[in-house]
Chains A and B, each alone.
Chain A
Amino acid sequence: MASQSPQNQASLYVHENVVHNAKTITFIRSSMSAITGSAAGILGLTGYSGFIFYALTAFFTSFLIWSVKTNTNPGIYFRNGSDVWTEGVFGGLFSYVLFWTLLYGIVHVYD
């Protein structure tokens, strides 16, 4: 109901809570990228298929966050509703590649 001046927009959100929500998302993303990276390595994906796999799983993770954690209404948890889909995706990519390489190396390369 509040008007849309930037001042009122700012006061609608409690900063600490928004930060906490962002932390939660980062946590989910980190663990998911480690897990999916391991999965990709064990499956033996190489090249583009591995990155496509990451895109798919990241999207799936976002969908889960969106549907389960925010009850399809991210606007009340984040200043910008689309944060749910984008936050931490690129940070997770590095961990994904790390675990992908590690598990691929352990399972497929040295035997």
Chain B
Amino acid sequence: MSQPLTSMLVESQALYLDPAIRDWVLIPIMVVMVLVGIFRDQVTVLIGSTSGKKAGIKAIKETKALTRGVTLRNYGNNIPSSSFLIRKNYLCSSYKKGDFLKNPASANQVVNPMTDPAGMEMMMEGMKKNFAMIIPQTVIMGWINFFFSGFVLSVETPDMDVTWVSSLSWYFLNLFGLRSIFTLLLGEDNAADGMRDMAAMSQMGAASPGQPQDFNKLFLAESENLELTPHNWELDDIEVRLLVKYGKRELVDNKDIIEMEDISSNDLSDVKGKSKKKRT
């Protein structure tokens, strides 16, 4: 029983590969995949540019107002306390009142994307893109499987050495490996990469793409974040930092955190000032 099996194994190991397979299978698959990637990228540019619609001034105002809150949170330490407080109060109250909303009247009702024309547009956009991505993907995979199934592979023979590369596995190697090649060829934000659609497809169930965001909710969340943001002015301990920088004072490390009130009440006492410096 074992005799024919071993002979078969030896035979399959000695499988001779025609050089023509290299010229007509290995290289064509790679070339086709590169070209399809470039084509896909160009199609995305085409679709994107035809529907390049400008957002209304109110919509821009909405997003910018949100950005403003984030900026204040991130860089607030660079302005004095009073300035920070004024901005914070203004933004928080405006967020809560909905001053920045595109449509203040509809602040509390949920927007149905099916009835909102802008939302509809966006959904169509997403669908178009998805189709442009998925169709070539499946077509190529089917094509490779169909045309080249007879060549290197025939993995149906179970005793074949696993080191043989089938054309389908070569396809998958290409699928993953060409990603960075496309980055080199087409720049960072290309749409040629096939794996991205897979990620997009798996996301589709969770949150439908193109659904308009509920800015009222975002504003409320942002105002909450702002209210929780502490303010430590960068220049509170500037004298000490300068003195230390020019070697007039040593730094002592015993405390890491200093309350703001300490500094404003009694001007920088030695220990505090030095300890603050330590946090370089």
Contacts and interface: CB of A to CB of B under 8 A. Distances in A.
B128 interface: no
Nearest to B164: A109
B234 A98 contact: no
Interface stretch (B17-25, B49-57, B136-144, B199-207): B17-25
A104 to B, nearest CB: 10
* Secondary structure type dominating chain A contacts: helix
A48 to B, nearest CB: 13
B131 interface: no
Interface string B45-64: 00000000000000000000
A110 B181 contact: no
Interface residues of B, number: 33
Given A101-B170, A105-B26, A11 B176 contact: no
Interface residues of A, number: 33
A11 B78 contact: yes
Contacts of B184: 27, 30-31, 34
Interface of A: 1-5, 7-8, 10-11, 23, 26-27, 29-31, 33-34, 88, 91-92, 94-99, 101-102, 105-106, 109-111
Given A1-B280, A3-B276, A94-B180, 19 more contacts: A1-B245, A2-B234, A3-B232, A7-B75, A10-B74, A29-B180, A30-B181, A30-B183, A34-B184, A88-B180, A95-B177, A95-B180, A97-B177, A98-B178, A99-B177, A101-B173, A106-B26, A109-B17, A110-B22
5 contacts: A34-B180, A95-B178, A95-B179, A105-B26, A109-B22
